[in-house]
Structure 1
């Protein structure tokens, strides 16, 4: 048998060491089809910004009551010019875990496609996307503590004097017909609107950031669950958005895009028309600021699992919602930058929905 040369042994050792190092350094792939606690979402945001530094920036824009930093991802190609923008927030209600899951999926899809899809590349050159995966961080973390806190909705700010309950419903705290309908002054209810309009730090973070550059924003999307709805302004039945007809047409076309993915029907309309009247929502606030397109997405399901949507439904829910959100964003982009609009061909399904037949299938 030929003698084993020392140099051969050294080569083998170098190769083995390199393989071992690669295995150690290799990061596990992030799972977009499971629910993640806040710590993992924060780490994901930081890593995403590092890995995509050319188009992703991690931005801090506020604090929660428990002094956690509210962060968002700004996604867009740096052009050196002032750009128009799209807003998306998720997790304003703590128990709606599918919403943060969708925000993460949405961001990943953008990053996966902008180099290969000419349309996405065009939109990222013209627009900046501002995405907050979890707005109500304190409440979200609390909802992960144990089974008894899983269905927590509000933030974690203390109650007014004389009340022993905790938390404000952030989606009743915005300055949009605040405190008038579909809200409670009882701090122990789930729809307590707060001590005053915009009394909550989380609300103020959004209103200051968006409000101070409201002329830049073309679209405001806030993601919730559940019900399979696309809600447009306003939550108060006595008010109608000046572009109501266009909001309905774009919303119905988005619902049609959602239906084509997995056959799920999303109803479209104002909250009083298809859900219930409410005031103080971020959707209504955004439209009152002059942001022309403002929608609330209520994701799956229709009540079978409610807020505890199983993880095996994360992928189909995100796939269909992405199709709907992308339709709205593409329409808005084309209207401003291409002198036209995205296709809103009135299919029979669309015409029937606009006519009020929302349960034909």
Structure 2
């Protein structure tokens, strides 16, 4: 077997929606990509008015496993629910009752290929291509935006971060890795995720699946967490130019003790679920520990409630799965099981997340 291309990802979602109409909803995103592709999200769940979990994949084009992992998870959940069976991922088992709880007691939004243009380019022309395919007048390496630096969270790193912070983003359109785009949420791929969060207030947890470290990351990615100085937040311009320096006392990103406890516990559940599959350890870490970031999906999701208390609080996580971007299919199948196990463990624990 080989990795799914973007058209095959969309066909898989269509087929699952057709096969399980009472347990799914196929959602069409409103913003076509630069190359004219339409992306869709599969909502798995039989009830409305329940807690939602949003799973993103394929944000970075060269990371081939996440879209396949999320399509596989949706298929596994729907088939097991339809047959009234449990699920087994290596050494990790989920009972029929647990599957029923996820499908009938919550909503799982599966958005497997956020950046289909980039994936198509990676699979056919440049395997290590990371960004989307935004055209640029200068052409060549100046094509594309890193979608995971384009969200509206401290997007303008030149103003918001310390000059020596080494924040992993760039204002240079010719940066082949982390160009942030011409403005926050300039990209259709970014706007589709924002639209989903805006229109589906039942979503309480977001997981952006990437590769390959492996690690499980939680908020914040902008600076070291602290829970004693609530005035030090991304919203306060007094701290612009101070963020992102390691191990300094000038600034730390505020997170409430309750939220820090929740994201730590939920991350540990995912870690345990992954390790049970075949013994591989995905350490838990604050996102900033990997490197400082701005404009990332997980921080954006969590920041929304602070910027506008009327919006649902959404805890954001990133799973960095596997050890290579494009492993052999035999290895990819193992990583797919790890992602599925982590996502199910998280889905079963979502009600433990404190509401806003």
**TM-score when normalising by structure 1:** 0.77
- Assess if the C-alpha contact under 8 Å between 1:123 and 1:333 holds in 2: no
- Assess if the C-alpha contact under 8 Å between 2:101 and 2:348 holds in 1: no
Q: 3-state SS of the aligned residue for 1:144?
A: helix
- Note if 1:120 corresponds to 2:99: yes
The offset of 1:227, in angstroms, is 0.3
Name the counterpart of 1:49: 17
> Any residues of structure 2 matched to 1:1-361 within 5 Å, and which?
34-62=2-30, 63-77=32-46, 79=47, 81-114=48-81, 115-116=84-85, 117-146=96-125, 149-159=126-136, 165-180=142-157, 181-189=167-175, 190-214=177-201, 216-237=202-223, 238-242=252-256, 243-273=259-289, 275-290=290-305, 291-301=313-323, 306-333=324-351
Q: 3-state SS of the aligned residue for 1:183?
A: coil
- Assess if the C-alpha contact under 8 Å between 1:175 and 1:198 holds in 2: yes
The offset of 1:65, in angstroms, is 1.4
Q: 3-state SS of the aligned residue for 1:295?
A: strand
Q: 3-state SS of the aligned residue for 1:202?
A: helix
Segment of structure 1 superposing worse, 95-104 or 288-297: 288-297
- Assess if the C-alpha contact under 8 Å between 1:211 and 1:289 holds in 2: no
Q: Which runs of 5+ in 2 are unaligned?
A: 86-95, 158-166, 224-251, 306-312
- Assess if the C-alpha contact under 8 Å between 1:99 and 1:223 holds in 2: yes
**TM-score when normalising by structure 2:** 0.78
* Moved segments of 4+, more than 6 Å: 160-164
The offset of 1:97, in angstroms, is 0.3
Residues 336 and 248 of structure 1, relative CA distance in 2, 3 Å threshold:
closer
- Assess if the C-alpha contact under 8 Å between 1:226 and 1:299 holds in 2: yes
d(CA) in 2 for partners of 1:282 and 1:127? 22
Q: 3-state SS of the aligned residue for 1:87?
A: strand
- Assess if the C-alpha contact under 8 Å between 2:57 and 2:210 holds in 1: yes
Q: RMSD value over aligned CA atoms? A: 2.1
Residues 5-59 of structure 1, C-alpha deviations (whole Å, 9 max, x = no match): xxxxxxxxxxxxxxxxxxxxxxxxxx6xx31112222222211111111112222
- Assess if the C-alpha contact under 8 Å between 2:262 and 2:353 holds in 1: no
Count of paired positions = 295
The offset of 1:213, in angstroms, is 3.2
The offset of 1:103, in angstroms, is 0.6
- Assess if the C-alpha contact under 8 Å between 2:122 and 2:129 holds in 1: yes
The offset of 1:249, in angstroms, is 2.2
Q: Which runs of 5+ in 1 are unaligned?
A: 1-30, 338-361
Q: 3-state SS of the aligned residue for 1:69?
A: coil
Q: 3-state SS of the aligned residue for 1:156?
A: coil
Segment of structure 1 superposing worse, 161-170 or 242-251: 161-170
d(CA) in 1 for partners of 2:354 and 2:101? 13
Larger radius of gyration: 1
Residues 209-238 of structure 1, C-alpha deviations (whole Å, 9 max, x = no match): 212333x11211111001011011111013
Q: Which has the higher contact order (CA 8 A, sep 6+)?
A: 2
Q: 3-state SS of the aligned residue for 2:29?
A: strand
- Assess if the C-alpha contact under 8 Å between 2:10 and 2:39 holds in 1: no
d(CA) in 2 for partners of 1:56 and 1:140? 25
Q: 3-state SS of the aligned residue for 1:220?
A: strand
The offset of 1:172, in angstroms, is 0.1
